[in-house]
Amino acid sequence: MQEYGTDVVAGVTPGKGGEEVLGVPVYDTVEEAVEMEDANASVVFVPPAFASDAVMESLDADLDLCVAITEGIPKHDMIRVNRRLQEVDTRLVGPNCPGVITPGEAKVGIMSGDIFDSGEVGLVSRSGTLTYQLVDSLGSRGIGQSSVIGIGGDPIIGTDFIDALRAFEDDPETEVITLVGEIGGSDEEQAAEWIEEHASKPVVGFVAGRTAPPGKRMGHAGAIVSGGGTGTAESKMTALKDAGVEVAETPMEVAEKVEDLV
């Protein structure tokens, strides 16, 4: 993040306050870091058992943004976090995500900054790996990104598709939105409803997991089809198409469809 240009002003590790790492002062609490360094965002790399406490510290410190990289935070912990999110203005991205990046300006998270180029396509994705593949495909066609948000693949997350879509809809730098989903849950179907009712910008979609068997978890904790007619790649693709989204069959086709729109 430092190398990319993000202004990393503090680190937080309880008991390590007063130390310095890579020229960055370390504090015992997020509250101290905010008070002393005027930090407005945090990124959480804390192990799963303790990660929710680190996120809650960020929320209690009234930060604008908290990005939780950690995978495997217990669901009960995330229920507690999400309840607290309703009471604060902090935006939580993740957990189990690669973070966010505005190419050429800053990144918070673990995305490889050198594959991104500034441009007019906003990308929101549940999959970090697919994000990199699509950004590479877009870049090979000379298409850059306004911002990229990895919302994470856990069952309970902070920022969801609708939150990201709303942000891109309000962003003057974004002209086309790309949505990358996967099997499991109903977030993509809900996003389709929002797109149909509110989106004025064109949306290109892709849903991973078309060949995944029901009941089998594929990668992410949230990527499991549990039955009931929703959660499959087919149901998500149908919902998106019905909402007017250009849905690609393959990751490479996403770039082709975006190229026709920019």
Whether 21 shows a pLDDT value over 60: the answer reads yes
169: phi then psi, degrees, rounded to nearest 5? -60, -35
Topology of domain 97-262 in CATH is Rossmann fold (3.40.50)
Q: pTM higher than 0.75, yes or no?
A: yes
As beta bridge partners, residue 178 has: 123, 204
CA 64, 70, 75, 80 dihedral sign is: negative
pLDDT value of residue 215: 58
Q: What is the mean pLDDT of residues 40-57?
A: 97
CA 238, 240, 245, 248 dihedral sign is: negative
Which residue has better confidence, 232 or 82? Answer: 82
- The closest alpha carbon to 254, from 172, 152, 143, 153, belongs to 143
Domain definitions of the chain by residue range? 97-262
Write down the catalytic residue from 220, 224, 243, 246: 220
Of the pLDDT bands very low, low, confident and very high (cuts 50, 70, 90), residue 91 is very high
220 is catalytic: yes
Tell me if 197 sits within 8 A of 131, measured CB to CB: no
What whole-number percentage of the chain has pLDDT above 90?
85
Whether 84 shows a pLDDT value over 70: the answer reads yes
**Residue 238: alpha-carbon gap to chain centroid:** 23
Mean pLDDT of the chain: 93
pLDDT value of residue 231: 75
pLDDT value of residue 82: 97
Q: What is the pLDDT of residues 101-150, one digit of tens each?
A: 999 999 999 999 999 999 999 999 999 999 999 999 999 999 999 999 99
